[in-house]
A and B are shown apart, each in its own frame.
Chain A
Amino acid sequence: MIELAQALSTDPVLLENGPAIENAGMAALAVGLAAFGAGYAERGIGAAAVGAIAEDRGMLGPGIVLTVLPETLVIFAIVVIFLV
């Protein structure tokens, strides 16, 4: 146990004083979270859109447009990549 603690305390990665995740990593995480949010939003809209299309084929166009609207979230998040 003590040996393990000693080994950890001398681990070069942990001793380094920098952040755990670098800027690029953080930006990737941000895009990932944004995509997650967009996916969750699309779940509900997609279900409703399929319901509407089932009743009326004419809703196919509006249905697709509304379903992918939350995708704009991810596009904004991609901007972050160019900022780092």
Chain B
Amino acid sequence: MRDLELGRTFQQTNGSSNLEYVNARVRARRAALFDDDDYRKMIRMGIGEIARFMEETEYQREMNALGARYDGVDLIEYALNQNLAKHFHDLLTWADGMLYEQIAAYLRKFDAWNAKTAIRGIYSGADAEEIEDDFISAGEFDEAFLASLSTADSVEAAVELLEGTIFGEVLEPALVEYQETDVLVPIENAIDRAFYEHLMDGLRGSETTQAQQLYAEFLEAEIDFRNARNALRVAFSGADIDHSEFFIEGGVLFDRADIQSLLTEPGALADHIAESRYGERLADALVAVREAESLIAFERALEAAILEYSDRLANVNPLAVTSVLAYILAKEREVENIRAIARGREVGLSEQEIEEELVII
């Protein structure tokens, strides 16, 4: 059902999940993503060459469509975003039934992104067009709703618009805090938390087939890795922050009570992760974090680890939603890699430095 008032485009679908069809298409697209050879080639190119290279690949249509409006890195970036939105929208047009609901719940990630973009833009005084350029319309919010978000004239007005979406409930207390302190952090945290806590919506009822368990495992892993990353950022920054503010419920790695005590030193946190079910996969990353104490290296390792982990979950059961989610992660990663290369080239980073920014598995 279409609910214009809330700007929703996600519809109810009938019928059973068409996993075979969606899986075949998704796996074909997963295989067509850039591989490390492509990245290595791109690292050596200038901005113009990267743009030309992209015109010969998957991104041809977007590059041509946007070529008249933008140039340079901006062109690359907007083409990437538009291509991402197109692919994720495709997923929703293919999927039916339960599968559709699960993918849709996951794609709300982009609603969270868009809501944050709008609020940040309004806060910093950007005009509506600038904000709209940065939206990625792959989520539940439709064009009209996004347009009204970008034209909201205050943070309060934007929050009011978000009332009735999944973010409405948590934004109310966050708005009060924002009004007291005039920083956006509580609002942004609230949006992220609402997204992750609604992820489990797709797990309906008490069905516990293998496919359901895999889906749950995937979401738990995502929440755990997000918590681990946040925890490490806090630990490395050495700031005295109450971590429970950033904590996302639903994972298996941490609970609200013990995370604060683990934060006192990065070593204890690393040990805790090493003992969990991800320990084996993250072994290299954990060595890096203990030795080099480099947060960037650890974050990259963490992202590579979740990509590998999601690929494994996708292959355990060939007909589960996990392969779709693994594709979503891989596609996002590709877009981020290309963006990192383009931005790195623009500011004149060396090939070595750019390569450190990439996550390639």
A binds B: yes
A→B interface (CB under 8 Å):
44-45, 47-52, 54-56
B86 proximal to A (CB < 8 A):
no
User: Interface residue tally of chain B, by bracket?
Assistant: 10 to 19
B260 proximal to A (CB < 8 A):
no
A72 to chain B, nearest CB (A): 20
Tell whether, in the assembled complex, residue A50 and residue B21 are in contact, meaning their CB atoms are under 8 Å apart: yes
Q: State A51–B21 Cα separation when bound (angstroms).
A: 5
Tell whether, in the assembled complex, residue B24 and residue A48 are in contact, meaning their CB atoms are under 8 Å apart: yes
Tell whether, in the assembled complex, residue A55 and residue B24 are in contact, meaning their CB atoms are under 8 Å apart: yes
Closest-by-CB residue of A relative to B319 is A44
B52 proximal to A (CB < 8 A):
no
Q: State A22–B85 Cα separation when bound (angstroms).
A: 62
Q: Is the interface of B mostly helix, strand, loop or mixed?
A: helix
By a CB distance below 8 angstroms, the chain A residues around B290 are: none
B327 to chain A, nearest CB (A): 12
One digit per residue, 1 when the CB lies within 8 angstroms of any chain A CB and 0 when it does not, for chain B 199-226 equals 0000000000000000000000000000
Ordered by A's residue number, 11 sampled pairs between the chains whose C-beta atoms are within 8 Å are A45-B20, A48-B23, A48-B24, A50-B24, A51-B20, A52-B24, A52-B25, A54-B25, A55-B24, A55-B32, A56-B28
Tell whether, in the assembled complex, residue A55 and residue B29 are in contact, meaning their CB atoms are under 8 Å apart: yes
One digit per residue, 1 when the CB lies within 8 angstroms of any chain A CB and 0 when it does not, for chain B 94-116 equals 10000000000000000000000
Closest-by-CB residue of B relative to A55 is B28
By a CB distance below 8 angstroms, the chain A residues around B24 are: 47-52, 55
A28 to chain B, nearest CB (A): 31
Tell whether, in the assembled complex, residue A44 and residue B28 are in contact, meaning their CB atoms are under 8 Å apart: no
Closest-by-CB residue of A relative to B32 is A55
B326 proximal to A (CB < 8 A):
no
By a CB distance below 8 angstroms, the chain B residues around A52 are: 24-25, 28
Q: State A51–B327 Cα separation when bound (angstroms).
A: 15
Tell whether, in the assembled complex, residue A47 and residue B21 are in contact, meaning their CB atoms are under 8 Å apart: yes
B1-60 contacts to A, CB under 8 A, are 18, 20-25, 28-29, 32
Q: State A54–B26 Cα separation when bound (angstroms).
A: 11
Counting from the closest, the 9 A-B pairs by CB-CB distance are: A51-B24, A55-B28, A47-B20, A48-B24, A48-B20, A47-B21, A51-B25, A51-B21, A52-B24
Most buried by A among B24, B25, B29, B94: B24
Tell whether, in the assembled complex, residue A48 and residue B28 are in contact, meaning their CB atoms are under 8 Å apart: no
By a CB distance below 8 angstroms, the chain B residues around A47 are: 18, 20-21, 24
A55 to chain B, nearest CB (A): 4
Tell whether, in the assembled complex, residue B20 and residue A44 are in contact, meaning their CB atoms are under 8 Å apart: yes
Closest-by-CB residue of B relative to A59 is B28
- In the complex, besides A49-B24, A52-B24, A55-B25, 4 extra interface pairs with C-beta distance below 8 angstroms are A44-B20, A48-B23, A55-B29, A56-B28
By a CB distance below 8 angstroms, the chain A residues around B32 are: 55
Q: State A55–B28 Cα separation when bound (angstroms).
A: 7
By a CB distance below 8 angstroms, the chain B residues around A54 are: 25
By a CB distance below 8 angstroms, the chain A residues around B23 are: 48, 51
Q: State A5–B260 Cα separation when bound (angstroms).
A: 81
B36 to chain A, nearest CB (A): 22
Q: State A22–B324 Cα separation when bound (angstroms).
A: 51
Q: State A12–B25 Cα separation when bound (angstroms).
A: 60
Tell whether, in the assembled complex, residue A48 and residue B21 are in contact, meaning their CB atoms are under 8 Å apart: yes
By a CB distance below 8 angstroms, the chain A residues around B20 are: 44-45, 47-48, 51
Q: State A55–B23 Cα separation when bound (angstroms).
A: 11
Q: State A73–B20 Cα separation when bound (angstroms).
A: 21
Q: State A52–B20 Cα separation when bound (angstroms).
A: 10
Q: State A49–B21 Cα separation when bound (angstroms).
A: 7
